[in-house]
Structure 1
Amino acid sequence: MSKILKVKNVNDYGHYLGHADLHPWVSVINYAEVSPIRHSLNNYSVYGLFLRDDANVALDYGRGKYDYHKGTLLCVAPGQVGGKEDNGEQVSITGWALLFHPDLLHSFPLEKHIKEYSFFDYRVNEALHMTDEEHDILVSLMRQIQDELFKKPDELQNTILVGYIELMLNFCQRFYNRQFLTRKVENSDILVRFDHLLRDYFEDKLQLTLGLPSVQYCADKLCLSPNYFGDVIKKTTGDTASNHIRRFIIRLAKNGLAAGETVSQVSDRLGFEYPQHFSRMFKKQEGITPSEYCQQLHT
């Protein structure tokens, strides 16, 4: 049975590493100060940002190679499991970790919109690979949060800590946006594979047994997390992955209608449960019903 470290509070992880925490809801760890450490497979009830200068994450993506030699940033959210099971091995690592408990965010706007930072659900192979400048910005913020934790607590401390954390998350989002742009070749390759996947899905008639293709299904087949896949498609096309799927389906529908199929036949062939569901999607995408589209074809 796997040995899993339950990180219910930030000090659960700190205690495992021999790090003394100064705040019940926030922890900043400089790995150089606690190294060497043992591996741990962690079940998180907290948020975590792990900046690893030694992380063994491949920097080869698609057809590109990227000179992000300063390290990687991995982000986790409550409910996730990550890390490597303790096998007794002592490893020397460098980098930083920031952990914060959801309770810290109560009554702050960040509590509601933290879910907008989709990178908390990216997989390890989708980690952020930082330039030297990006790395130094995040380390600087880690140090500033650490300095604040050393100060005597007052009524503004949590406000300041949440402000630093939100600033760090915004920088992470900016850096990920840069990474999407620098990986245009990889991203366009994902888009091509996405279109091939949709084409094969309908050619193999999977819609008749599985229903319409979902973003989750496509992401799984492309070996990507749904969040990362969705973000890549949005950055590449300017539209959501779900809309891309719907537009693909409408193109197939138009071909069928133009070839003389009835609305009901097209609906059945494309895997809709009811014709009215097909008509609703068609009108939402095209502004007219399938019947009105057929009338236009013959005028």
Structure 2
Amino acid sequence: MARSIKCCLSGNGRALCTWLGLFLIFALAPQTWAHPKDTLIWLKRDLPPLFIFEGPKKGQGVIDELLTELIAGMPQYQHSVMKVNRARGLQMLHEPSLTCDAALNWSKERETWIAFSIPVFRAMSNGLAVRRVDREVLAPFIKDGEVDLATLLATGSVTLGIVAERNYGEYLDTLLTQASPKTLTRHYGSDALGSLLQMQRLGRLQLLLGYRPEIRYQAQQQGIAEDELRFYPIRGTGKYLSGYIGCTDTPQGRQAIIEINRLLRTLPRDHLSEAYAAWLDPESRSAYLEASREFFEQQAGN
């Protein structure tokens, strides 16, 4: 190399110098010529036990850990993780950038503009949380331990707190669409559920709709003792629902879903189910684990 450079400096070494320069460009800076990776934006929302933004278990949610595995298994992308609220997350999924959310409910309406993965995990369905002192409000509407929410909302006599623009599953979304607006208290903030819990504590709303593990966790963060609240399942919802990964419905997004599905089929589901079950009350865990195992065995056989 030294002799070549010396020759370049001589009067008749210009051709060699040109070739040497080209060699250095290609050999020492290959990244300049490499095809740039597509950037895949992952959306995260404060949704315990799936995503956890604050507290002693920060970053240790069920999908926090799955997302780490997905990112490690997809080196063909440049990954970027962004924390958003529900409204902003849905807005970004409408935009053309390559964006994915790792914890979405499926619906027919959403499938028209979101590319969905195969089912990723199973979760307990949404239920109602009521203050212990207000539980008599529900008494006339409880049958076999479940609340007839359709009849309850039709009375127009209660206020129900919900997270704005959250999908609660097709059955509940239909009920909420049909309900009188005066019976619903919607919250759009980043800490929507925590704020709704405080409103309920102050008596500004009577009922709160959500996932029991999430409500239990947020209640602890708000300093609300668990025995202050009572939880009830809702008739017609089914005991469990599936969570999915959803990406922007573009050629890039649909290709990402193909690669995500390929990776999901290689990951053990038992670990994910056990991580979720750890957040449930003890009497619910064994039934959940059995139901989750049967569901994914059936999925694998289809």
TM beyond 0.5: no
Where is the helix percentage greater, Structure 1 or Structure 2? 1
Higher relative contact order (CA 8 A, sep 6+): 2
TM-score, with length taken from structure 2: 0.20
Computing the radius of gyration over CA atoms, which structure comes out larger, 1 or 2? 2
Higher strand fraction (1 or 2): 2
